[in-house]
Structure 1
């Protein structure tokens, strides 16, 4: 039997495996026996999130693994892609979350799960330690970004992944409107033929 392809969807900060893009990917691969989708539930804590992701990715290797990371998931995905030499599709990725998330210092609530938690300066420093200023193999990355992202400045992603393939769409939102339109692009990027 052929190897399975392990596709990881890495959700963003204050999100969950119930997010719209996770559901779209789940529906897309539901009838594809070659692809196993992994959507880990990640806590607000960066160190714990990376530990969960490392453990799940390492369980899948040496079978082929591909990553799709949205927002903070793109930041975590970049770290994983560099550590394990994996292909990564970035969807409106967070580039410098250790700056952006200063606004979240203190008590917050996850809108998907209802969990209340405290985001601290230690979490900011953990994010800073995970930063990859420059990727080693730009061809392993595909950037999907929309210019009207209301949370992140899309230009940061365009600049950081300047030597990677990019799809930059005018308008849109942080959630990346019309994500399902890009499923054929994802299949192609991961060298998978899309099922009929």
Structure 2
């Protein structure tokens, strides 16, 4: 497999490029792999706009040397892109049924890592997520190149659903931990090896 030269990181719902995991990954890439193109954009609340931003932004990337990392809702997006691009993806407590799970969050919310920023999650965004979920079923991966890091202690998402969705790829099932993967450092060596950045 070719070494990763372009790495995309996707944060979760109400999160940002200032999340702990995103900043740790950015720091590792900057210090240890300065030649790797790193992109961790602030994602629009609209799933359709988020996918357009990502596909346009990576339009000139060499997909055979591209990898994606995503957390929570970003993990769902990363899984979707991995199918579209046929590239490897690391999925950190990835959302499995985001349309169902986020339907109760319609309205305005503060961003976790910047209380001055707010997002408004509109009802139409649930339909956009439903369309993305349907497209996931239409583009199966013949050989899943995913590493799903799943915490049984996740207090937001059901680890059983995550495991059932991603068990065809590599899985790191963690006893305990939490949705944010507060012990993220423990899994970094395995993640970096999977991404061919070790």
TM > 0.5: yes
| Structure 1, 71-80 or 179-188: larger mean CA deviation | 179-188
Q: Distance in 2 between matches of 1:69 and 1:187?
A: 14
CA deviation string 1:94-140 (max 9, x = no partner): 00010011111122222333333432221000001111147413431
TM-score, scaled to structure 1: 0.90
Kindly report which structure 2 residues correspond to 1:54-93, keeping only aligned pairs within 5 A, or say none: 54-62=55-63, 64-93=65-94
Q: Could you say what secondary structure the match of 1:166 adopts?
A: strand
Kindly report which structure 2 residues correspond to 1:77-116, keeping only aligned pairs within 5 A, or say none: 77-113=78-114, 114-116=116-118
| Structure 1, 83-92 or 63-72: larger mean CA deviation | 63-72
Q: Distance in 1 between matches of 2:20 and 2:12?
A: 12
| Structure 1, 133-142 or 99-108: larger mean CA deviation | 133-142
Q: Distance in 2 between matches of 1:58 and 1:182?
A: 30
Q: 1:151 to 1:4 in 2, by over 3 A?
A: closer
Q: Is the 8 A contact 1:6 1:63 kept in 2?
A: no
Q: 1:4 to 1:143 in 2, by over 3 A?
A: closer
TM-score, scaled to structure 2: 0.89
The answer for the alignment partner of 2:41 in structure 1 is 40
Pairwise CA RMSD of aligned residues?
1.9
Q: Distance in 2 between matches of 1:42 and 1:126?
A: 14
The answer on 1:188 being equivalent to 2:189 is no
Q: Give structure 2 stretches of 5+ with no counterpart.
A: none
The answer for the alignment partner of 1:19 in structure 2 is 19
Q: Could you say what secondary structure the match of 1:144 adopts?
A: strand
Q: Is the 8 A contact 2:106 2:120 kept in 1?
A: yes
The answer for the alignment partner of 1:5 in structure 2 is 5
CA deviation string 1:24-69 (max 9, x = no partner): 1012112223322211110211111111111122232256110111
The answer for the alignment partner of 2:128 in structure 1 is 126
CA shift, 1:152, in A, is 0.6
Q: Could you say what secondary structure the match of 1:66 adopts?
A: strand
Q: Could you say what secondary structure the match of 2:95 adopts?
A: coil
Q: Distance in 1 between matches of 2:3 and 2:94?
A: 29
Q: Give structure 1 stretches of 5+ with no counterpart.
A: none
